[in-house]
Structure 1
Amino acid sequence: MSFSRPSQRDDFEIAIVCALKAEFDAVCLVVEEFWDGNQDIYGKANGDINCYRTGRIGKHNIILLQLRQMGKAHAAAAAAGLRSSFTRLRLAFLVGGCAAVPQSENANIVLGDIIISTGIVQYDFGRKFPDKFIRKNTGRDNLVKPCKEVGNILTTLQTPDITNKLTERLATLLIDLQKNAHNKGYGSRYGYPGVHEDKLYKSSYHHKHRDMGCPTCSMADDSTCDEARITNCEDLGCGVAGLVAGRQRLEEKLQSCRNDDMAYQNPDIFFGLVGSGDSVMKSGCDRDRLAEEEGVIAFEMEAAGFWEDVPTLVVKGVFDYGDSHKNKLWHHFSSATAACAARAIIERLAQTDQRSTSIYKEERSKGE
């Protein structure tokens, strides 16, 4: 089936926004057709400093945007420009990576899994007192509740039947992305890093020198020297004694590997509150404390800047566990799972006569 090239900016209703190049590159691999070719034929509004790509996923014309820098302020500025140039924008997908809370009451999350936000918590917005930080928690300050359109989409996506279909489609798209990446010369960049590389350390087991030769790291408190912060776990001696054992989902993935079943790389999808702030989460203790206090299941850095200005669906792949052992090993694979999840959702969106987006009518009826 062939699709006509859009004639104007008003023909674009869906945007995909990424903060990092690795995330943006992965999204480009799931776009079915690009409209811009060798030039930007659609332009932008005066004062909009964003740079866009345009393309198509399914029946939808897509705007692609990579943020200039990470963080809420840059995201908010980009959102303002996006809305000024694309006045019929109905929905933005914030796609990329996040730090996940690995274990909570309703979730057992592993690296590469997908987090879809049902609300945003600005966990670093508040007042700093000498003895503690108190988050501003009034109705005016909170971003928890999504707009009605996003709320309706989330309601449908969380029905068991649709979630299962999304998970199945995501697995197929992930294989297609990996083949596409290989054909484009990326090699195994977006391949699954391996079950044994999914390491979850106990929150109290800090990333520091283990040989007791460092005067700072050997102190009784949580002190860590600057050298240790930029040194990998292997060189520091972070060992198996600090790992969380008996993780059932990893055991299942390992069994799939032994059976040569590609299901070992398939991510699960989780819905929940996401914490958004301007700091990178690299503390297992703070991660667990905030998870308990705020009910969040993941952390990222841009959603708070988009959430109020543009109807936003946050789709994130789990890069790491938000602890001091954080590294970039999973960035490309998890960027790929997030890109595939976003495409799987977009494929299920239908345009109404008024050019707004909604889940296919038959599936919404089934969910109701």
Structure 2
Amino acid sequence: MSTRRNHTDYTLAWVCPLEIEQTAAIKMLDESHEPLEQERTDYNTYTLGRIGRHNIVIAALHQAGNSSATSVVTQIRNTFPDIRSVLLVGIGGGVPVKTSSGIIRLGDIVVSKPAGEYPGVVQYDHGKAEIGVFKRTGALQPPPAVLLHAAQDFAVNRTLADEAMDPLTTSLSRITSDKRLKAFHFPGRQMDFLYESDYAHLRAGYLCSECKCDPAKRIRHDYGVDEAHVQVHRGVIASGELVIKDAKKRDELAAQHGVLCFETEAAGVLADTPCLVIRGISDYCDSHKNDQWHGYAAATAAAYSRELVLRLPMYKPKQSPNPGHCGDSARARILD
């Protein structure tokens, strides 16, 4: 625990919908800070700390969903007035399609990025039903330019890095090297089951191996030599109130909107605040989904987020209107 800071020292918020995601986020901090006072109307619980040169507010949701995300982010911005950017980090359901980085598989990362008519996130369940068609209404904000630039910088540098010096692997080891956190360790590619879209899970509440789902219905993956290598896919993420557990519905919505991942909080955050969405893929949005990959997917998303923060620029401090006042002159901020 380091010395106490001020509310205005924090310019970046890291929001985690689930407890397991919050644990992964805290493991990414270089140092922790003492808690600060907050208004009685702010019901959030914060973890304050630093990654590299940037001070960060970490907050979790009391329950998953867009409404909860909206409330939490609103309270963050009221308590920490200099927050300029938000990272929404956690797990999501992947669409097993091929991108420029390869086939999306469990443990990979999907990051929101504007594509076509979409600003990075599409709220697929918000709109109006007309004759024979469902039309989406409203528009969400694109991610802050500074975060998009940092994501691109990471992609370039990771491509150029020596295979043995993968920065994402280095950050991921902050969790996976901790023997106490077994839930966050790599489950093994042999546990990555992708079934044909029309083959339903045989018994709810049981693993595929326990209820004897037919192995012949699995789609064979060609993963290459390094099965543990984490790929980063950038594109459109779908956000809605309902958890998708239907492979046919997944494929239908993915084809309609060109999405790579499904989740349930981004639309709530983006209603009022620019945000970059980062999701570790924990399932394929089908009836076979389970919790086996939750920890590792949360870890990969958190590791990527740390690397992103390390690449954010530092800006010159704002000039005080009073030349004789220098209270904030030594503090740098992340700007939009």
Counterparts of 1:6-17 in structure 2, within 5 Å, are 6-17=4-15
Distance 1:266 1:125 in 2: 36
Aligned length: 313
Bigger mean CA offset, 307-316 vs 148-157:
148-157
CA distance in 2, matches of 1:18, 1:164: 30
Cα displacement string for residues 67-108 of structure 1 (whole angstroms, at most 9, x for unaligned residues):
110000000011110110110001111111010111145441
Cα separation, 1, equivalents of 2:25 and 2:289: 23
Distance 2:13 2:254 in 1: 30
Letter in 2 for 1:230: G
Give, in angstroms, the shift of residue 163 of structure 1.
Answer: 5.7
Farther off after superposition, 160-169 or 9-18? 160-169
With structure 1 as the length reference, what TM-score do the two structures score? 0.79
1:272-287 mapped onto 2 (5 Å cutoff): 272-287=235-250
**CA displacement at 1:150 relative to structure 2:** 4.0
* 1:278–1:136 distance in 2 versus 1, CA, 3 Å: same
Which amino acid is 1:44 matched to? Q
Change (3 A) 1:142 1:112: same
Paired residue for 1:238, among 213, 219, 229?
213
Q: Deviations over 1:135-192 (max 9, x none)?
A: 424xxx122633444444445455x34565599211111123222x32xx33x32211
Match of 1:146 among 111, 122, 143: 143
1:281-321 CA-to-partner distances (Å, cap 9, x unmatched) read: 11111111111100110001111111232221111111111
Contact 1:93/1:314 (8 A) holds in 2: yes
One-letter code of the match for 2:272? D
- Deviation beyond 6 Å, 4+ runs, structure 1: none
2:68 aligned to 63, 71, 74, which one? 74
Query: Partner residue of 2:310?
Result: 347
Q: Pick closer, same or farther for the CA change 1:234–1:149 going to 2, 3 Å.
A: same
Give the Cα–Cα distance (whole angstroms) in 1 for the partners of residues 96 and 103 of structure 2: 6
- 1:125 paired with 2:126, answer yes
Determine the C-alpha separation between the residues in 1 that align with 2:85 and 2:144: 11
Q: Pick closer, same or farther for the CA change 1:143–1:10 going to 2, 3 Å.
A: same
Q: Which of the numbers 296, 299, 310 marks the counterpart of 2:259?
A: 296
Paired position in structure 1 for 2:225: 252
CA RMSD of aligned residues (A): 2.4
Where do 5+ consecutive residues of structure 1 fail to align? 209-227, 254-263, 360-368
State the shift of 1:350 in Å. 2.3
- C-alpha contact (below 8 Å) 1:83/1:310 kept by paired residues: no
CA distance in 2, matches of 1:190, 1:145: 31
1:314 maps to what in 2?
277
Q: Which has the higher helix share?
A: 1
Which residue in 1 is equivalent to 2:322? none
Percent same amino acid at aligned positions? 31
